[in-house]
A and B are shown apart, each in its own frame.
Chain A
Amino acid sequence: MKCIGCGVEASIKEFRYLYNPRIDASVTLRQCAKCQAWLVVDEMKNEATRIMQAGEDPWGKSAGIENVTQAT
């Protein structure tokens, strides 16, 4: 997997796993060991899609009546 922040490429296991609050989704947060960026990762594709910024919702809106979770 390639870090979007610094460009380093490594096995996905080398990117420190942070968490996923929606276990029914494949989107997780991992941290690059080199540049410390928080990366939004698609675990099915083993691909970092973007750097996580404050206030973002990579898992989509909460499940329930205020829109169901959007697939990533």
Chain B
Amino acid sequence: MSTATQTNITNAESKEWWWVAERERSPRLDYLRKAVWKKGAIGGNYAPGIKVNLERAQLFTESWKENEHDPIMLRKAKALAHYLENKTIFITDQAQLVGYVGTLPNTLEWYPEGASIVNEEVYNEQSVIPEPEKESLELIAEINDYWSGQTAIDKLGRVLDPEDIVKFMSGVIGWGSPTSAYGYSGKDYEYILTGKRGFEDILDDIDANIEAVEKETKGMPGPDILPLYDKLLNWEAMQIILDAVIDYANRYARLAKIIAENFETDPKRRKELLQIAETCERIPAQAPRNLQESFQLDLFIQVIARAEAYEGAWPGRPDYYHGPFYDKDVNIDKRLTKDEALDLVGEFMIRAHEVGMFGPRWTREGLQGITGTWVWTLGGVNQDGTDACNDLTVAFLQAARLVRVSNPTFGFRWHPEVKDEVMRECFECLRHGLGYPSMRNDPVLVENTMYWYGHPIEEARTWVHQACMSPCPTTKHGFQPMRMASATANTVKMVEYALSDGYDRVVSMQMGPKTGDPRNFKDFEELFQAWVQQMEWLMKILVRTVNLGRVKDPEFFGRPFLSAISERSVESGLDAVSPEGERGNCWVTFFTWVENADSLAAVKKLVFDEKKYTMDQLMTALEANWEGYEEMRLDFVRNAPKWGNDDDYVDEIMVRCLREVARHGKEIKCPSGNNWPALPENVSGNIHYASLVGALPNGRRLGDALYDGGISPGPGLDKKGPTAVLKSCAKIDHVKDGRAFLLNQRMSPTQLNGDKGYTMWKSYMKSWADLGLDHVQFNMVDDTTLRSAQKDPEKYQELIVRVAGYSAHFVDISRKTQDNIIQRTVVGL
């Protein structure tokens, strides 16, 4: 046996998979992986050397000032075109794909037109100010002064209800900003990524639309032609940005040629550079012909979408849309070997990983270690219901183990026809400690997508993860162009306010409705009805804000590029964000959810059923943050049923709560007139809100991390094993009770070793599928490794963990988050 193989075996046995990956990946992937600057915040702060990009802010603002009389779409398109024409570009050595969000490899993109409060953070975040610092600060101040009062959020703030905005801005009930400046968009991939068209084809369609409409606007006057004038301007904006992106790609083509012809001495690399030039001369102007061109088109789309707005997620289905090109290049034309294709696949992941945008602090704390939730969707079915897994599905899963990025991660759409070979690849990723793919139950989620919004089955089957969890079609009327993270609720406030007459003791203000002094509650029903009122209030206030933000977005922000790559916008001449023509795909993310059921159950049992304590005693203890009441606190923790133990006492409360939410989710409507189901999950909101939520009857104190999310039991509180957890979760109807339900599970890497481990995992997955759950994701890393990483972080830089709807490098997350993950129960199969 060679030394290298023996070393690999040793590293594998000690679960140091990052050394195995480093040895097994190609020299190109090794270089590219190591060339990336870490953009995710570490414990909320950016790494040393990371700087904010000032070019976009400066160039965008410059053009914006020059075109002040233009309507917003046109003004935006011109500003973006000016940026793309003049921004610094580079080609990473050994790269085959080009395009970067920002300018230099260590920069974060900044969007001064989005929110003044974020602009202030840029100014005050000393570590990201580029050198020379004094001049940079002067420039930032000048830019901030210009935008003050006229950012998208500033404008929205003037039309929102004042009470709503004060409560929303308190930071305790919601998360995110109600603008597409700081949101994330689905994409009409059926229009733009199926290889049928390039940007020149879209320009031809727009030309034809303009010609047809101009005949009308020059014709008989009447009310019908009045809306057409705005459409003409919108189409003009789309033309400007499409031309600008084609020119931007040509800049890369020229740069690649310059390097090849004047500087590159290696013949192999010279050939690659000329290949880049040829690719960028064609893409995105024309449709792709091969895998490199297909990836390049996708990458340009993502880069330019992020030149336009802070896209906090990356909905994608790369194996489905690029799979035909992989098949053509590797299997049919044999233009690429599998290893060469794997290099492209791995690089595509690395290009996504290197993306960085300046995020406000609440983002950095809620998404520790990453810049956005890039959850790529693999597997699933075709529109006709047949298995969509292909060779590229396998290639992505293999590449993931080689490049070991924490972002993007994968969500795998499992269905009963998935081949064992593919399931084994999924398992190997988990066994290598990546924390992904998350496993999604495709039949359940297709039915769910149809149930809540009425998407036709063929469209529902196209679904991708819009962010970490929620399915979104990729079709003309199905894709959602504006998902604002601000439809995200800190739901533990529902039970907190039910127990405080709507008063928030942490921020000292009346937030929710007055639902009664809890000391006077005579029975559980009174408490539960108070909870229902708080729940309805919380959902309403967030959805009101988001709905208004959505309909005002074309007026306050504008998305010319997103519109230009969306069929319904190219046809209609409307901003893609306009609700007109969209079926609706909204949901309210429910952070910090399970504490509601555990707390209600504890009060019901110990106060109302067993009468061991009075409400007055409980409230006194909660108001004291359990200080001096440790024995009582432990009673509420240990002797009240907890979710995840297949105990009907608390499980029925959970289901009852969810069904009230589902009922209300059908009463509140989105701008398209469709429903707002709930989706329990957390990212790292459980840490972000730890100091914003008071003591609770489940036994937590102010400051303790909340549970890790979705419908996951509290750390250490699931005492009856994994089957009990699944059975609890199965009492929820994963189609009708909500949009989707995140479940974290932690498994033993020792127990799940080798073929035997795979067999055990498959058996677990069968139970999961049979019980109709829609989601599960895994950590497979032991305590010893995690504690060693806390002690010697330098030696564990590449250790990855699944936090919640995303993965992160363990050393990049805060100590509190680390301890929270370590204390998750290790389930035995």
Residues of B within 8 A of A55 (CB): 787-788, 790-792
B616 interface hit (Cβ, 8 Å)? no
Q: Given A13, A18, A57, which contacts B787 in the complex, CB threshold below 8 Å? A: A57
Smallest CB gap from A52: residue in B: B815
Nearest CB of chain A from residue B590's CB, rounded to whole Å:
20
* Contact across chains for A23 and B700 when beta carbons are under 8 A apart: yes
| B interface size (C-beta, 8 A) | 43
In the complex, are the beta carbons of A62 and B783 less than 8 A apart?
yes
Within 8 A of B (CB), among A27-55: 28, 43-44, 53-55
B716 interface neighbour in A18, A24, A56, Cβ under 8 Å: A24
Complex-state Cα separation, A17 to B791, whole angstroms: 22
Also in contact, A61 and B783, with CB within 8 A (given A21-B820, A24-B638): yes
Cα distance, A65 to B782, chains bound together (Å): 11
Contacts of B791 in A (CB 8 A): 53-55
Which of the residues A44, A57, A61, A64 comes within 8 Å of B746, measured between beta carbons?
Answer: A64
Inter-chain contact total with CB atoms closer than 8 Å? 96
Rounded to whole angstroms, the CA-CA distance of A57 and B816 in the bound complex is 12
Chain A residues in 8 Å Cβ range of B630: 26, 43-44
Looking at B498-506, B525-533, B702-710, the stretch in contact with chain A turns out to be: B702-710
Within the complex, what minimum Cβ distance (angstroms) separates B742 from chain A?
A: 19
Partner of A13 from the list B627, B699, B816, B822 (CB cut-off 8 Å) is B627
Q: Determine chain A's interface SS by DSSP, over half rule.
A: loop
CB closest chain-B residue, reference A58 = B819
Q: Are A23 and B698 neighbours in the complex by a CB distance under 8 Å?
A: yes
Tell me which of A21, A25, A54 contacts B822 (CB under 8 A): A21
Q: Specify which of A21, A28, A62 is in contact with B705 (CB 8 Å cutoff).
A: A21
List, in ascending order, chain A residues with CB within 8 A of B792's CB.
55
Contacts of B698 in A (CB 8 A): 23
- Taken together as a complex, chains A and B put the C-alpha atoms of A53 and B785 apart, in Å, by 16
Complex interface: chain B residues within 8 A of A20 (CB):
701, 704
Q: Assuming the A-B contacts A20-B701, A56-B787, are A64 and B827 also in contact, with contact meaning beta carbons closer than 8 angstroms in the complex?
A: yes
The reply to whether A65 and B634 contact each other, CB–CB distance below 8 Å, is: no
Tell me the nearest residue of chain B to A16, going by C-beta: B703
Query: Closest chain A residue to B699 by CB distance?
Result: A23
B804 to chain A, nearest CB (A): 15
Residues 708 to 763 of chain B near chain A (Cβ within 8 Å):
714-719, 746, 748, 750-751
> Please, which residues of chain A bring their CB within 8 A of the CB of B823?
21-22, 59, 62-63
8 A Cβ contacts from B665-704 to A: 690, 698-704
| 8 Å CB contact of A63 from B705, B751, B826 | B826
A24: which B residues are within 8 A, CB to CB?
634, 637-638, 699, 716-717
B828 within 8 A of A: yes
Residues of A within 8 A of B746 (CB): 62, 64
Contact mask for chain B residues 799-829; partner A; CB cutoff 8 A; 1 contact, 0 none: 0000000000000000010011011111110
From B625, B782, B823, B828, residue with most partner A Cβ within 10 Å: B823
A21→B826 contact, CB < 8 A: no
Interface pair B638/A19, CB less than 8 Å apart: no
Question: B631 in the interface, Cβ–Cβ < 8 Å?
Answer: yes
The residue on B at minimum CB distance from A18 is B703
Which residues does chain B contribute within 8 Å of A17, judged by CB atoms?
625, 701-703
A67 to chain B, nearest CB (A): 8
When C-beta atoms are compared, the residue in chain B nearest to A17 turns out to be B703
* Cα separation A55 to B625 with both chains bound (whole Å): 28
Best-surrounded residue of B715, B718, B748, B788 (most CB of chain A within 10 A): B715
Q: How far is the CB of A69 from chain B (nearest CB, A)?
A: 6
Q: Contact check: which of A12, A53, A65 meets B826 at CB < 8 Å?
A: A65
The answer to whether B701 and A69 have CB atoms under 8 Å apart is no
Do residues B828 and A64 form an inter-chain contact, with CB atoms below 8 A? yes
Q: Are B716 and A62 in contact (CB under 8 A)?
A: yes
Give 1 or 0 for each of B619-646: 1 = CB within 8 Å of chain A CB. Answer: 0000001010011001001100000000
- Which of A12, A53, A63, A64 gathers the greatest number of chain B CB atoms within 10 Å? A64
B627's partner among A12, A19, A22 (CB-CB below 8 A) is A12
Do residues B751 and A65 form an inter-chain contact, with CB atoms below 8 A? yes
CA distance A21 to B718 in the complex (A): 14
Please state if B634 and A63 are interface contacts (CB–CB under 8 Å).
no
Question: Considering the complex, which residues of chain B in the window 192-236 have a beta carbon less than 8 Å from any beta carbon of chain A?
Answer: none
Residues of A within 8 A of B719 (CB): 63
Q: How far is the CB of A56 from chain B (nearest CB, A)?
A: 7
Asked if B826 contacts A62 (CB within 8 A), the reply is yes
Cα–Cα, bound, A31→B748 (Å): 33
**Interchain CB contact under 8 A, A23 and B704:** yes
Q: How far is the CB of A57 from chain B (nearest CB, A)?
A: 6
Q: How far is the CA of A26 from the CA of B71 in the complex (A)?
A: 61
Report B757-788 residues with CB < 8 Å from chain A CB: 782-783, 787-788
Contact partners of A66 in chain B: CB under 8 A: 748, 750, 782-783, 826
Complex Cα–Cα for A18 and B819 (A):
12
A37–B827 Cα distance when bound, in Å, is 34
Q: Which residues of B contact A57 (CB under 8 A)?
A: 783, 787, 822
Which residues of B370-416 have CB atoms within 8 Å of chain A's CB atoms? none
User: Which residues of B579-631 have CB atoms within 8 Å of chain A's CB atoms?
Assistant: 625, 627, 630-631
Residues of B within 8 A of A69 (CB): 716
Query: Can you show 8 pairs from A to B with CB atoms below 8 A apart?
Result: A18-B816, A23-B637, A24-B637, A43-B630, A44-B631, A55-B791, A57-B787, A62-B822
**What 10 A-B pairs have minimum CB-CB distances, sorted nearest first?**
A55-B791, A64-B826, A65-B828, A63-B716, A64-B825, A21-B819, A21-B823, A55-B790, A23-B699, A43-B630
* Seed contacts A17-B701, A17-B702, A22-B715; 16 additional CB < 8 Å A-B pairs: A19-B703, A20-B704, A21-B822, A23-B700, A23-B717, A25-B716, A54-B790, A55-B791, A59-B823, A63-B715, A63-B823, A64-B827, A65-B826, A65-B828, A66-B748, A66-B782
- Chain A interface (Cβ < 8 Å from any Cβ of B): 12-13, 17-26, 28, 43-44, 53-57, 59, 61-66, 69
